[in-house]
Structure 1
Amino acid sequence: MNKFAGLLIVVSSFLTAQQQMSLQDCENAFQQNNLQLLAEQYSISMADADILQAKIWELPQMSGYINAYNPEDKRFLDAGRAKGFEVTQLIYMGGKKKNEIAFAKSNKELAQLQFSQLLVELRTQLHTNYYNLYYEKLKLENIDKQLGYMNDLLKAYKVQSAKGNVSLKDEVRLQSIVIQLKNDKVGINKNLLEFEQNLKVLTGITENIEPEISADEAKQLLKEQPFGDSEDLKRKALENNADYLFILKMIDNSKLYAQWQKSLNVPDLNIGAEYDQASGTFNNEINLKVGIPIPLWKSNRGNVARAKFAISQNEKNAEFQKLNLETKVESAFQIWKTQFEQLSEIRTADLNNLDLVYEGMLKNFRNGNVSLIEFTDFMESYRQTALQIYDMKNELMESAIRLNQLVQTKIFY
């Protein structure tokens, strides 16, 4: 009874370690729990703090004096007869504060675009790993099905080989297929572990995720086609791709920086008031004070020149990014189109026939209607074909995900 209870606990813990989730469920967990996204959001908050800081003016300065030594009365620190103080405030000229604030706001827009870049990249990883996991599990089911039969068959042949009823050559032939199937299974399990770990990191969910997709949903996804042709996709990518928009915003940002640096060449005013008790022309006089640097040269000309070069650099980067993005979209579209057409040529009836032939081959071999050589040749061909079909489906999904990443708008029905 205790052993049975222990077995139930083990089975229960295994089941709870698996969590069935749709792609939308994974999306929701990803947006709530992904640590990289949560960390990147602080960049936007820091940019807000920079805007706040840019709006702050220099503090007013206050200074004063008292007499240190009165030579007439020979008294030290004679504050009763000689003292004064002044208050001054720095006044920014040439639109410095306005330009600094505009540059800080532009930096926030860059931070928001960087967040969008990260969001798109991580979402692409989420979708890719989700469908990779789904198709690897289908491959594992197929391999397990073949292994179940081939292991039983190999055991039977080993018994008959020991009795001398079948040749050792036939046993080895079967053994080679079993070894290949087990090798396939090792590779698939390794991939499954990698995809499961990636999904855990992306979603923040500690349990293994079981993709919740019906066979009909999977078929429908493979039939989807993008809106428009490659030229439409290029246009949409230029309008929505966060990487490209970031480069364009960098041009505006560098222009604002150059404008701010240029305004720093304009001298600022120091304006204030001064009270003097007895050392001035009049007793208890109040004076207006104005100070301004003498603009004998442009003190910030090096930064201005550097800012101009940054504008030219970002403009060239934008030209490159535009060409690069259009080329990537065209390439991704052609890859998707080729894979879609190849998979479309494999009809559902052909796949059903493949399974029917597989079942028929097993039955005929059991009945002795098929030789071992014919059977093993078919099993090897079936193993390769089954895995290739799953890979073709997965690669088509990856191509669609890649297009989504580049265009970053709804492009599939």
Structure 2
Amino acid sequence: MNKFVGLFIIISSFTVAQQQMSLLDCENAFQQNNLQLLAGQYNINMADADILQAKIWELPQISGEINAYNPEAKKLFDVGHAKGADITQLIYMGGKKKNEIAFAKSNKELAQLQFSQLLIDLRTQLRTTYYNLYYEKLKLDNTNRQLGYMNELLSAYKIQSAKGNVSLRDEVRLQSIVIQLSNDKVGINKNILELEQSLKLLTGLKESIEPQLSETEAKSILDSQPFGDEEALKTKALENNADYLYNLKLIDNSKLYAQWQKSLNVPDVNIGAGWDQNGGTFKNEVNLKIGIPIPLWKSNQGNVEKANYAIQQNQKNADYQKLNLETKVEAAFQTWKTQYEQLSQFKTSDLDNLNLVYDGILKNFRRGNISLIEFVDFMDSYRETILQVYEMRNEVIQSAELLNQLVQTKIFY
């Protein structure tokens, strides 16, 4: 009796630790709590800091001088008769600051595109995990239902086999079905545990999540079709895919960097003023000071050439990413289409009929209208079929989510 009480407490605790959540609830929790997403946001903040830093000019420099030794009066530190001061400011020429700021702003745009892609990737992971968990739970419920009946039947046959009323061979046949169902349950439970852990990480919630999705909603999702054909999806992907847009933006970014490096070849000007008490032509003279490097050679030419090569490299990478994206969209669309057409051949009524036949087989077997061999063959076939049906439905949704991840516009449901 104490064992049953303990088992009830464990089951009750497990139930309390779970919470039913819709996909929308999970997405809201994900946007608020996901640590990868929150950490990724700081890249944009750091890019803002780089823009701020790019706008800051070099500080003005002030210097002074005093007499260390007066040879005429033979006096050390004759400060009263000989001292001076200078102040200078570096003036950037050739649009250096403007180019540096433009490059920093371009880096921020890259950071925003990276964050957008991170958001899409993690959101897709959340949605696929949610649907995976939903169908694994359906598999588990169905397997438990079959296993409960088969265990009762096996127990009854063991009793009759011990009395010699049925053959040991019949008991072994039932035992094999129970073992298969038990193995299915172990594998399903393992998948559920892994999926629940993934959802916890994605949503930042401590409790396990029970998908709150009705059969009607699931059917509506499965019945949805993409808008447009394959070529239209490719066009949308090239317009919206953040990863591809990042590679395009990288070309502009490298051009701005090259422009900045070219401007660094333009000499800057140091301008300032100086005061001297007695060291100049006049007493207490004030002088204007200008300093500029002699441009005998381009001091930044190597970095300019490197930046130009980066432009060509990023152009090739963008061309590759375009081809790669179009190829992925084509493959994802064809995969979805094949799986959708395969599933569409299996109607909801077919599954209902399969369950009706299942119930009828159970009743007829209890009444002795069918043999054990026929019953075992049907149960084995039913076990495999029901798992395949749930897997087919899940694969259609998974393919749709992959296509959404590539196209990055809500083309499905």
Q: Same fold by TM-score, threshold 0.5 exceeded?
A: yes
Deviations 1:59-90 (A, max 9, x none): 00001100000111111000000000100000
- Match for residue 272 of structure 2? 272
Deviations 1:198-229 (A, max 9, x none): 00000011101000011111111100001100
- Match for residue 361 of structure 1? 361
- Match for residue 303 of structure 2? 303
- Match for residue 180 of structure 1? 180
Deviations 1:89-139 (A, max 9, x none): 000000000000000000000110110010000000000000000000000
Matches for 1:196-235 after TM superposition, within 5 Å: 196-235=196-235
- Match for residue 164 of structure 1? 164
* Separation in structure 2 between the aligned mates of residue 142 and residue 4 of structure 1, nearest angstrom: 24
- Match for residue 64 of structure 1? 64
- Once the two structures are overlaid, the 10-residue window that deviates more, 363-372 or 382-391, is 363-372
Deviations 1:215-262 (A, max 9, x none): 111111100001100111000000000000000010010000000001
Cα drift, residue 5 of structure 1 = 10
Cα drift, residue 16 of structure 1 = 2.4
- Match for residue 34 of structure 2? 34
* Separation in structure 2 between the aligned mates of residue 348 and residue 245 of structure 1, nearest angstrom: 41
* Separation in structure 2 between the aligned mates of residue 5 and residue 342 of structure 1, nearest angstrom: 47
- State the secondary structure of the residue aligned to 1:272: strand
> Using a 3 Å threshold, how does the CA distance of structure 1 residues 368 and 18 change in structure 2: closer, same or farther?
same
Q: What code does the residue aligned with 1:128 have? A: T
- Match for residue 258 of structure 2? 258
Uncovered stretches (5+) of structure 2, i.e. residues with no partner: none
- Match for residue 135 of structure 1? 135
* Separation in structure 1 between the aligned mates of residue 154 and residue 10 of structure 2, nearest angstrom: 31
Q: What code does the residue aligned with 1:265 have? A: N
* Separation in structure 2 between the aligned mates of residue 224 and residue 80 of structure 1, nearest angstrom: 92
* Separation in structure 1 between the aligned mates of residue 194 and residue 153 of structure 2, nearest angstrom: 32
Q: What code does the residue aligned with 1:306 have? A: K
> Using a 3 Å threshold, how does the CA distance of structure 1 residues 336 and 5 change in structure 2: closer, same or farther?
closer
Cα drift, residue 14 of structure 1 = 3.0
* Separation in structure 1 between the aligned mates of residue 10 and residue 174 of structure 2, nearest angstrom: 35
* Separation in structure 2 between the aligned mates of residue 348 and residue 265 of structure 1, nearest angstrom: 72
- Match for residue 405 of structure 2? 405
> Using a 3 Å threshold, how does the CA distance of structure 1 residues 166 and 10 change in structure 2: closer, same or farther?
closer
TM-score under structure 2 normalisation?
A: 0.98
* Separation in structure 1 between the aligned mates of residue 195 and residue 294 of structure 2, nearest angstrom: 66
- State the secondary structure of the residue aligned to 1:32: helix
Cα drift, residue 348 of structure 1 = 1.9
- State the secondary structure of the residue aligned to 1:299: coil
Matches for 1:3-402 after TM superposition, within 5 Å: 13-402=13-402
Uncovered stretches (5+) of structure 1, i.e. residues with no partner: none
- Once the two structures are overlaid, the 10-residue window that deviates more, 214-223 or 11-20, is 11-20
* Separation in structure 1 between the aligned mates of residue 272 and residue 355 of structure 2, nearest angstrom: 93
Percent identity over the alignment?
A: 76
* Separation in structure 2 between the aligned mates of residue 368 and residue 343 of structure 1, nearest angstrom: 35
- Once the two structures are overlaid, the 10-residue window that deviates more, 50-59 or 346-355, is 346-355
* Separation in structure 1 between the aligned mates of residue 235 and residue 8 of structure 2, nearest angstrom: 58
Cα drift, residue 364 of structure 1 = 0.9
* Separation in structure 2 between the aligned mates of residue 308 and residue 388 of structure 1, nearest angstrom: 55
* Separation in structure 2 between the aligned mates of residue 96 and residue 384 of structure 1, nearest angstrom: 70
> Using a 3 Å threshold, how does the CA distance of structure 1 residues 120 and 258 change in structure 2: closer, same or farther?
same
Q: What code does the residue aligned with 1:178 have? A: V
Cα drift, residue 12 of structure 1 = 5.1
- State the secondary structure of the residue aligned to 1:88: strand
- State the secondary structure of the residue aligned to 2:86: strand
Q: What code does the residue aligned with 2:161 have? A: S
Cα drift, residue 281 of structure 1 = 1.0
Aligned residues between the structures:
412
Deviations 1:166-205 (A, max 9, x none): 1111111111110010000000000000100000000011
Which segments of structure 1 move beyond 2 Å, counting only runs of 4 or more?
2-16
- State the secondary structure of the residue aligned to 1:266: coil
Q: What code does the residue aligned with 2:179 have? A: I
Cα drift, residue 323 of structure 1 = 0.6
Q: What code does the residue aligned with 1:199 have? A: L
* Separation in structure 1 between the aligned mates of residue 116 and residue 358 of structure 2, nearest angstrom: 49
